[in-house]
Amino acid sequence: MKAVRNTLLTLVVAVLLLPVYAMFAVSSASDATDLGGFGFDVSQLGAHVSQLFDQGGFPLYLRNSLILALGIGVLEVIFSSAAGYALAQLRFPGSRVLFAVIVGTLSLSPIVVLVPMYLIVKELGWINSYQGMIVPFMMSAFGVFLVRQFALALPHELLLSARVDGASELRIFVRIGVPLLRPALLTLFLLQFLAQWDNLLWPLIVANDPGLWPLPVGLSQLQTEYDFSIGLVSTAALITAVPPLVLMFLLQRYYVAGLTLGGVRK
């Protein structure tokens, strides 16, 4: 019974991973004549990788993607933890209104506010700039909400005793709140990094300058460049998939925690 189950599951997982293997196989294909083949040529793959890094915009796209994903990930952690902690632990004027706005924003998606968001960025003079790509996504309602939920569960006695000892509220946040919130912040960083690494729509709209393109925009353009073979494009996709996969395996626990938030009753 167990052997049957394991065999079936192994088969299913193998089928699921077939497209991933296809990515490797096509990346090592020397020409576009036979893409259904299952041969895998490491030296050809290596040649494609070095070709990508030697010429064209690929290294630039990679750098821009790192700037965007790391920048937004870090900003999100800093500002969402500050706001989420304040909403959970501190009484301040306007907190109810802010929380209502954030909960309302949870149900909005970027596609809904795309047009006015673009107009605002244009008004700020941020078209074709890093800040134009970063600032509109530097925080998220989900992020603030997530940190708030975790911050509500911080041990009350600990915060209180720090207050009794005369620590300032800011110090309590930095010294006690942030370390205790670390799992939530790691989850948040990971989810934001993955989302921004994959953000195509917004950079496509605000960045016309190829020097600013991150990988998603760059890759979508590579497809149409005539001197790029399918093997080369596929190798570019393969390299793009590496950082998220590495991060996900290193932070697997936090990844699952982030995905299952709200779905599982604790």
* Near other proteins in 209-238, by CB under 8 A: 215-216, 219-220, 223, 230, 233-234, 236-238
Cα separation, 103 vs 62, whole angstroms: 34
Cα separation, 181 vs 87, whole angstroms: 14
**Residues contacting residue 233 through CB under 8 Å, at least 6 positions apart:** 219, 222, 223
Compare residues 66 and 135 and give the one whose CB is closer to other proteins: 135
Compare residues 106 and 153 and give the one whose CB is closer to other proteins: 106
Q: DSSP string of 4-45?
A: HHHHHHHHHHHHHHHHHHHHHHHHT-SSSS-TT-----HHHH
Cα separation, 86 vs 90, whole angstroms: 5
Cα separation, 30 vs 243, whole angstroms: 25
> Using the rule CB under 8 A, which residue among 46, 53, 112, 153 binds other proteins?
112
Residue 153 engages other proteins in binding (rule: CB under 8 A): no
The stretch among 27-35, 49-57, 125-133, 179-187 that binds other proteins (CB under 8 A) is 27-35
Residue 158 engages other proteins in binding (rule: CB under 8 A): no
Cα separation, 67 vs 64, whole angstroms: 5
The stretch among 44-52, 110-118, 125-133, 181-189 that binds other proteins (CB under 8 A) is 110-118
Contact, 189 vs 76, CB < 8 A? yes
Cα separation, 265 vs 105, whole angstroms: 23
Tell me how far, at minimum, the Cβ of 172 lies from other proteins, in Å: 9
> Using the rule CB under 8 A, which residue among 152, 153, 250, 256 binds other proteins?
256
Q: How many CB atoms lie within 10 A of CB 85?
A: 26
Positions in 166-195 near other proteins (CB under 8 A): 168-170, 173, 194
Tell me how far, at minimum, the Cβ of 46 lies from other proteins, in Å: 19
Cα separation, 203 vs 129, whole angstroms: 10
> Using the rule CB under 8 A, which residue among 30, 46, 119, 250 binds other proteins?
119
Contact, 203 vs 214, CB < 8 A? yes
The stretch among 39-47, 48-56, 181-189, 197-205 that binds other proteins (CB under 8 A) is 197-205
Tell me how far, at minimum, the Cβ of 211 lies from other proteins, in Å: 19
Residue 138 engages other proteins in binding (rule: CB under 8 A): yes
Positions in 32-51 near other proteins (CB under 8 A): 32-36
Positions in 68-107 near other proteins (CB under 8 A): 79-80, 82-83, 85-87, 90-95, 98, 101-102, 105, 107
Residue 151 engages other proteins in binding (rule: CB under 8 A): no
Q: How many CB atoms lie within 10 A of CB 83?
A: 20
Contact, 51 vs 232, CB < 8 A? yes
